[in-house]
Structure 1
């Protein structure tokens, strides 16, 4: 069973992101998604992954400096995403269906 954690960490108020994440999920994250693209935060998220963890990146802004052991040491994966890897012909009709059912609220 997948356990979803929705804790929010304000990186402006935390000195050590990795330690903060490990306090919430001691074994490390199974999945993490970064939409900021800030290299040091990407590195913190990668280090916060557990064995076989996956880090999804929507973009990278600036330099990202990783070593091989950051990734292969625990079989971690970094996966790049473009538009969530959605197939527009399938995804957009699904969003419309959710909207019509009231499950996809839009703010005017």
Structure 2
């Protein structure tokens, strides 16, 4: 990963309270996992920035190194890596994700 790619990812993660790196867009997710991640965030009524990794090969590879997580989608809240769609689903079902996102909205 280049320093430029890392800096671009870092800027997006740190300048947005909630960021989802995904395949496709919220209106047209390009994989089932990204679709599920969008459904969870939309159900929780959260505002978030999405980044389509399919539009930028550098970001697509760089985000995996940035988080040390091999798959996409990836959710960041408050500049911290939360996880992929499976972790999001577990946290959603336990209520932990709603609590985390409410805390971020209050902080933001």
TM range (shorter): under 0.3
TM-score by length of 1: 0.28
Which structure has the highest helix share of the two? 2
Higher normalized contact order (CA 8 Å, seq sep 6+, divided by chain length): 2
Q: Which protein is bigger by CA-based radius of gyration? A: 1
TM-score by length of 2: 0.28
